[in-house]
A and B are shown apart, each in its own frame.
Chain A
Amino acid sequence: MKTRKMPLHKPTRGGRARLRRRSAKLYKFQGSQPRRPLETVPITVDVRVFIADTAPLPAQGPVSAMADTQSEKQEKLERVFREHAERWKKDTRHWSSVTKMVMHPSYRRIMGMGPIALPLILRELRDYPDHWLVALNAISGEDPSSPDSTFEQAVSAWMEWGVRNGYLH
C-alpha cells in the first residue's frame, strides 16, 4: 500500500480561520475607498516590419530622405570647390611659379577633397584651362600625358583620361 507524503511546511499560526479574517478585512477596506475615474495612459508600441531583400523598397520615407541628403552633400561639395577654386585663381593669376601655386591653401584644400573632387577639377580644367595637373596627378596617382608633353598636350591627355574613366561626358 502506497503512503502519500504530505508536504512539509511550517504550520501557520491560526490556520485557515486567520486567513479568512484577513481577507474580510481587506475587502472591507477596498470597499470604503472612492472609485477613481479611468485614466488614459499613452503607450508606445514598437512594431517592426522585416522586409525581405527581394521585396521592393517603399517609394517614400527613408529612401527619399537619403536621396535628399546625397543631393545636399553634392551641392555643398560643389560650393566649397567653387569657393576655393575662385580664391586660388584670383590669388595666383599673375604668379609665374607652379610650385607656389600648388602651395596655396585653397589648392591644398581641393587636393584634400580626394577622388570626389576629380569630376569637378576635370570640368574646371576643360572649361577654364589652368594649373590643375598637379592636383589631378596627386589625387588619381596617374599621369596620362606623354613624357615631353607641353601644358596644352597634358590638358588634352587629362581630358581623354576623364572621359575614359567616366568623370567627363
Chain B
Amino acid sequence: MDERDLELEEDCPGLRQSAYKITSPKDPKYNCIAFAVGDVTQFWDDLGLPAGVRVKGYYWPPGAPTADTLLGWVKIFEIHGYSETQDSTTEPEYEKIAIYGSDIGAEHVARQKASGIWVSKMGKGVDIEHTLSGLEGDFPGRVVKIMKRKCQGGKRVL
C-alpha cells in the first residue's frame, strides 16, 4: 500500500496534518456505513427513494429512515444494537462508531478498533486507519455522534 493518498488528502484536508495508514485498495463495492457494520459486499444507501422503490445493487434496511438524514444513519446503528454515548475513549468491552457531518446531515462513519485506533472506508476509495480528530475538517465534517454497543460474544466487527 502507498503511504499517502494525495487525492484523499485533497478531499479530506484534516489528514494532511495527521497520521493515517492505508489498509486496502480502492473499492466502489461498499461504503463507510457497510464497513462500520461489517459488510464489505454491499453499498448501503436508499438513494433517497420512497419506501418500496429501489435501484438494484444497493441495500438499505427496510423501514429505516432515509440515508439522506443523520437520523437515518443513527437508526441503522440502533438496529445493530448501538446506543448514543459521549465517550470516545477505548472501553475493552464495547465497540464504538463515530458519525461525521453537520447537525443537518451525515457524511461519514468510522469504527473503533480494540487498540483504540479508528478505521474508515473512504467513500469509493481506500480503507484507512486514523485518529478520531485527524479526519475532521471541511469534509467529512466534525464528529456529531458517537455510539457504542457491547462486543458480541467478546468479538468486534471484522
Contacts and interface: CB of A to CB of B under 8 A. Distances in A.
Interface stretch (B25-33, B76-84, B150-158): B25-33
A102 B109 CA distance: 20
Interface in A108-158: 129-131, 133-134, 137, 143, 145-147, 149-155, 157
Interface string A32-52: 000000000000000000000
Contacts of B66: 99
Contact of B58 (A92, A151, A157): A151
Given A99-B48, A99-B67, A129-B28, A94 B11 contact: yes
B68 A99 contact: yes
Q: Is the interface of A mostly helix, strand, loop or mixed?
A: loop
A98 interface: yes
A130 B124 contact: yes
A97 interface: yes
Interface size bracket, B side: 35 or more
Contacts of A133: 55-58
A145 B31 contact: no
Interface size bracket, A side: 20 to 34
Contacts, number: 89
A43 to B, nearest CB: 67
Contacts of B8: 94
A93 interface: yes
B32 A96 contact: yes
Interface in B55-113: 55-59, 66-68, 107-109
21 contacts: A92-B123, A93-B125, A94-B11, A94-B122, A95-B123, A96-B31, A96-B33, A96-B45, A96-B107, A96-B121, A96-B123, A99-B68, A133-B56, A134-B55, A137-B55, A145-B57, A149-B56, A151-B57, A151-B58, A155-B57, A157-B56
Interface of A: 92-99, 102, 129-131, 133-134, 137, 143, 145-147, 149-155, 157
